[in-house]
């Protein structure tokens, strides 16, 4: 993979994190919290990634390159803020130390 500069991270995203708290009565309450906007580069999915994902019973729909300082967890969702309206579920996070970046492997979120 070629080295990617910060200038290439041109797509705005928002990281949506589920926050679980308890009410005063003790009931569990889950809310979504949107972290501050950050920037990414949407990478193309290779045929190999696509086939391996389907063989494993999952679908890989997006690879997103973000800066290492971006706080993303495997339980988060990524909302693309470029007007497309895409929301992705995080499947895995792979560090790329050479570029000081992370690749986030995602699938399109289904409303269920």
Name the pLDDT band for 5 (thresholds 50, 70, 90). Answer: low
- Which residue in the block uniquely carries the two structure tokens 């803020």? 81
How many residues comprise the chain?
Answer: 112
Name the pLDDT band for 7 (thresholds 50, 70, 90). Answer: low
Is there a contact between 103 and 93 (Cβ–Cβ < 8 Å)? yes
Q: Name, in order, each residue with C-beta under 8 angstroms of 42's C-beta and a sequence gap of 6 or more.
A: 11, 62, 63, 64, 65, 80
> Which of 60, 39, 38, 57 lies closest to 48 in space, CA to CA?
60
Whether pLDDT at 22 is above 80: yes
Give this prediction's pTM: 0.76
* Mean pLDDT within 25-54: 86
């Amino acid at each position: 993979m070629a080295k990617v500069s910060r200038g290439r991270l041109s797509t705005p995203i928002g990281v949506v994190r589920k926050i679980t708290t308890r009410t005063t009565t003790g009931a569990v309450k889950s809310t979504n919290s949107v972290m501050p906007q950050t920037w990414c580069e949407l990478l193309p999915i290779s045929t190999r990634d696509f086939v391996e994902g389907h063989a494993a019973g999952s679908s890989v729909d997006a690879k997103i390159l973000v800066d290492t300082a971006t706080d993303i967890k495997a339980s988060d969702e990524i909302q693309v803020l470029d007007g497309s309206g895409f929301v992705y579920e995080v499947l895995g996070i792979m560090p790329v130390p050479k570029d000081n970046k992370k690749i986030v492997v995602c699938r399109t979120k289904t409303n269920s």
